[in-house]
Amino acid sequence: MFRSRTRFRAYSLAASCLLLGVSSSALAGDAPSTIDPLNSPSWQYVQARYFDGQKLIFDDRIKVLAPTAAEDPLDVPIMVTSDGIADVEEVVVIADLNPIQKILAYQPKRASPDISFRFKVEQSTPVRAAMRTKDGVWHLGGTWLSAAGGGCTTPSGGSSGLWQGHLGEVNARIWPREDKNQRLRLRVIHPMDTGLAKGVPVFYIDQITLRDDSGAELATLQPFEPISENPVLSFDLKNVGPVHVEGHDIQGNTFTATIQP
Amino acid sequence: MRNGVIGLATFVSVAAGAGDDYHLQPVPVGDSAQVFVGKTEGFARGNGGNIVNTGFIVGTDGVIVIDSGPSRAYGEQQRAAIEKQTALPIRQVFITHAHPDHFLGDQAYSGIAISALPKTIAAIRDHGEALSDNLYRLLGGWMLGTRLVPPDHAAQPGTVIVAGRKLRLIAAQGHTDADLMIFDEATRTLFAGDLVFFQRAPTTPNANIEQWLSTLDTIDQLDFQYLVPGHGPIVQDHAAIAQTRDYLRWLSTTLHNAATRGWDIQEVMQTPIPERFRSLSVLDQEFPRSVTHLYPDIELNVLPKQTAAKHE
């Protein structure tokens, strides 16, 4: 925390120097890449919490596609795209100003790092995707989402208990794509309760694994509390053929499905 | 939450000064119906929510009002503008459907019967407060003092005489699950509510597109001389119906095709919009909203159910 604060001051100084027309060469070695293009009030905190001591650059190739305004704060559709950045080992999606910031972590093994999902937003916030490449560098892109809010502190529609007979039920389909790739779209019935709504304990799916027919992992995903109720996810897999889905929630309930192309 | 919102509204009101005059001027339609034509915009501080068409009909012994607008201030100014036109008392207010730009002026008509279809009344009771909160957020000071007043009379479809005027009340659905149209037999003026939009992209938060298209066919059969859409200019032909139908068909086809191709919502939102719709106002806001409203059900239809849950 202290380290991060110091670093921020240094960059502020660098920025002032540039404004004053003073040569920045003395500071150039310490590239000011962590000046947040989204100008988030929480950036220092987010950086310290999730990326402390790690290499990080803002990268225009990473896009977070979101509606300009959240029509339904309980169900904001997001698509993360990477414009072909190679060797992405992990993707993390964070909403800076959500009471629970981390939305998901994704490890695309034989899959594109691009992923689509929906999440619950509490107030207007930056939404950013960070992609860690093989060389250990985090590449960050993002956007501001405007929202009336209240998404995280509202009980799930399913908190009435209607989901109980259908927990873990999977709807899914595979679409062939060019170059021996395929799109998997998946919906799992789950209340995905954040624990922030009064009287409704935290309850969410925390692991989904996708495997090919030989049992080799295609991708692994850790959803967190902000993912919307009955998650709908789209994956772009670098394989063809059946996909085995297995997952569980924080109470150990499991679900499995085999989707035939 | 509500207190916070009201606090904000007060603040904005002070900042905006005397910004809450809607300058409502009725436009005559036929010889005794008149319409307050709203802007073809979205809710914004600049328009105070005056984005809707409301109207009134002067009968032999009283006045009939159709929709009360987005706020208490609108309702009061609407009533004052009507009372400038006629000394006859207001007999009845009809609310076409449960969207907040159509009923939040009800407070101005205390003591007068406010009628709507039963499902509209239920929806206003259940969701009116949340809708009103959202308008406080979007409109700020314009909403000052606005309180929810649900309609208190169930409108009976069929022919009725109100204020000496023969009206046909037509119950339909599609824009919402209860859409009331009012047809004034004498002037053959149809107040279509939000079942018809013109030169403005239709809104779909509670829409059922198939039902809506079928209702548009019904409206096409009506022998109207004037059609007052819920949003957009008054027409004397079927152009507004045709435009609404064309847009809804395109929207439905686009969403179904996208689902069949395996697209996620954000990909659907990137769909290019045909040139013929480019002139519709607020299209760039309404199309993504409609995708958000309608796509989740459509996509689920193409995702087959897989192996049932396994509990261990």
Q: Please give the ipTM for the structure prediction.
A: 0.83
User: How many angstroms separate the CA of residue B50 from the nearest CA in chain A?
Assistant: 21
- Is residue B266 in a domain? no
Out of B205, B267, B312, the one facing A254 most closely (by C-beta) is B312
User: How many angstroms separate the CA of residue A145 from the nearest CA in chain B?
Assistant: 14
DSSP state of A219: E
Cβ atoms B183, B189 nearer than 8 A? yes
Question: Does the distance separating the beta carbons of B288 and A71 come in below 8 Å?
Answer: yes
DSSP annotation string for A222-239: EE-TTBPSS-EEEEEES-
Q: How far apart are CA B198 and CA B87, in angstroms?
A: 33
Instruction: Write down the pLDDT at residue A248.
Output: 97
pLDDT for residue A20 is more than 80:
no
Cα–Cα separations (whole angstroms), residue B275 to A112, B90, B99, B278: 34, 44, 29, 5
The tally of domains found in chain A comes to 1
Q: Name every chain B residue with its beta carbon within 8 A of the beta carbon of A253.
A: 309, 311-312
Whole-number average pLDDT of chain B: 91
Q: How far apart are CA B40 and CA B52, in angstroms?
A: 8
Q: How far apart are CA B22 and CA B37, in angstroms?
A: 11
Least confident of A9-18, A246-255, B8-17, B243-252: A9-18
Instruction: Tell me whether B261 touches chain A (CB under 8 Å).
Output: yes
- CA-closest candidate to residue B96, choices B186, B175, B184: B175
pLDDT for residue B15 is more than 50:
no
DSSP state of B123: H
Instruction: Give the residue-averaged pLDDT of A34-57.
Output: 92
**A125-133, strands of its sheet edge to edge:** A56-58, A138-145, A125-133, A88-95, A102-108, A217-223, A205-211, A243-249, A254-259
pLDDT for residue A176 is more than 90:
yes
Question: Does the distance separating the beta carbons of B299 and A185 come in below 8 Å?
Answer: yes
Domain at B114, CATH number: 3.60.15.10
User: How many angstroms separate the CA of residue A32 from the nearest CA in chain B?
Assistant: 32
Domain at A252, CATH number: 2.60.40.2470
Cβ atoms B151, B114 nearer than 8 A? yes
The tally of domains found in chain B comes to 1
Instruction: Give the residue-averaged pLDDT of A87-102.
Output: 97
Question: Does the distance separating the beta carbons of B293 and A232 come in below 8 Å?
Answer: no
B292 vs A23, higher pLDDT: B292
- CA-closest candidate to residue A38, choices A138, A142, A132: A142
Instruction: Tell me whether B14 touches chain A (CB under 8 Å).
Output: no
- Is residue A33 in a domain? no
CA atoms within 13 A on the CB side of A97: 18
Q: Name every chain A residue with its beta carbon within 8 A of the beta carbon of B307.
A: 170, 256-258
* pLDDT band, residue A154 (cuts 50/70/90): low
Instruction: Tell me whether B272 touches chain A (CB under 8 Å).
Output: no
Question: Does the distance separating the beta carbons of A258 and B266 come in below 8 Å?
Answer: no
Instruction: Write down the pLDDT at residue A15.
Output: 36
Percentage of chain B beyond pLDDT 90 is 86
- Is residue A49 in a domain? no
Instruction: Write down the pLDDT at residue A150.
Output: 64
Instruction: Write down the pLDDT at residue A163.
Output: 74
Q: How far apart are CA B232 and CA B193, in angstroms?
A: 11
Out of B264, B293, B302, the one facing A173 most closely (by C-beta) is B302
Out of B1, B270, B309, the one facing A167 most closely (by C-beta) is B309
Q: Name every chain B residue with its beta carbon within 8 A of the beta carbon of A166.
A: 309
pLDDT for residue B32 is more than 50:
yes
Q: Coil, strand or helix: which one is B304?
A: coil
Provide CB contacts within 8 A for B1, sequence distance 6+.
A150, B133
Angle between helices B283-300 and B239-260 (to 10 degrees): 50
- Is residue A9 in a domain? no
Out of B289, B304, B312, the one facing A171 most closely (by C-beta) is B304
Instruction: Give the residue-averaged pLDDT of B188-199.
Output: 98
- What are the E-state strand segments in chain B? 27-29, 33-36, 54-58, 63-66, 90-94, 113-116, 153-154, 158-162, 165-172, 179-184, 189-197, 226-231
- Is residue A32 in a domain? no
Instruction: Write down the pLDDT at residue B308.
Output: 53
Instruction: Write down the pLDDT at residue B7.
Output: 38
Question: Does the distance separating the beta carbons of A77 and B289 come in below 8 Å?
Answer: no
Q: Name every chain A residue with its beta carbon within 8 A of the beta carbon of B285.
A: 68
Q: How far apart are CA B298 and CA A147, in angstroms?
A: 24
Q: Name every chain A residue with its beta carbon within 8 A of the beta carbon of B206.
A: none
User: How many angstroms separate the CA of residue A33 from the nearest CA in chain B?
Assistant: 28
Out of B137, B262, B311, the one facing A185 most closely (by C-beta) is B262
Question: Does the distance separating the beta carbons of A78 and B304 come in below 8 Å?
Answer: no
Question: Does the distance separating the beta carbons of A252 and B137 come in below 8 Å?
Answer: no
Instruction: Write down the pLDDT at residue A197.
Output: 87
List, in sequence order, every residue forming a beta bridge with B53; answer none if it has no partner: none
Instruction: Give the residue-averaged pLDDT of B148-177.
Output: 97
- Residues of A within an 8 Å Cβ radius of B: 65-68, 71-72, 75, 77-79, 116, 118, 148, 150, 166-173, 175, 183, 185-187, 189, 232, 234, 245, 252-259
Domain enclosing residue B137, as ranges: 2-238
Instruction: Write down the pLDDT at residue A229.
Output: 95
Residue in chain A closest to B301 (alpha carbons) equals: A171
Instruction: Give the residue-averaged pLDDT of B63-88.
Output: 97
- Is residue A30 in a domain? no
| CB pairs A-B closer than 8 Å | 95
Domain enclosing residue A133, as ranges: 54-259
Give 3-state DSSP helix, strand, coil % of chain B, rounded to 5.
Answer: 40, 20, 40
User: How many angstroms separate the CA of residue B266 from the nearest CA in chain A?
Assistant: 6
Q: Name every chain B residue with its beta carbon within 8 A of the beta carbon of A185.
A: 262, 264, 299, 303
Question: Does the distance separating the beta carbons of B266 and A78 come in below 8 Å?
Answer: yes
Q: How far apart are CA B155 and CA B169, in angstroms?
A: 8
- Is residue A83 in a domain? yes
Out of B292, B304, B307, the one facing A173 most closely (by C-beta) is B304
* pLDDT band, residue B19 (cuts 50/70/90): very low
Question: Does the distance separating the beta carbons of B296 and A172 come in below 8 Å?
Answer: no
Instruction: Write down the pLDDT at residue B100.
Output: 94
**B179-184, strands of its sheet edge to edge:** B158-162, B165-172, B179-184, B189-197, B226-231
- Is residue B33 in a domain? yes
Whole-number average pLDDT of chain A: 85
Instruction: Write down the pLDDT at residue B20.
Output: 85
* pLDDT band, residue B137 (cuts 50/70/90): confident
pLDDT for residue A196 is more than 70:
yes
User: How many angstroms separate the CA of residue B43 from the nearest CA in chain A?
Assistant: 13
pLDDT for residue B2 is more than 70:
no
Choose, out of B134, B271, B306, B307, the residue to mutate when testing the contact with A (most A CBs < 10 Å). B306
- Is residue A14 in a domain? no
Instruction: Give the residue-averaged pLDDT of A200-225.
Output: 97
Percentage of chain A beyond pLDDT 90 is 72
- Is residue A100 in a domain? yes
Least confident of A4-13, A197-206, B98-107: A4-13
Instruction: Write down the pLDDT at residue B281.
Output: 95
List, in sequence order, every residue forming a beta bridge with A107; answer none if it has no partner: A220
- CA-closest candidate to residue A58, choices A137, A146, A113, A145: A137
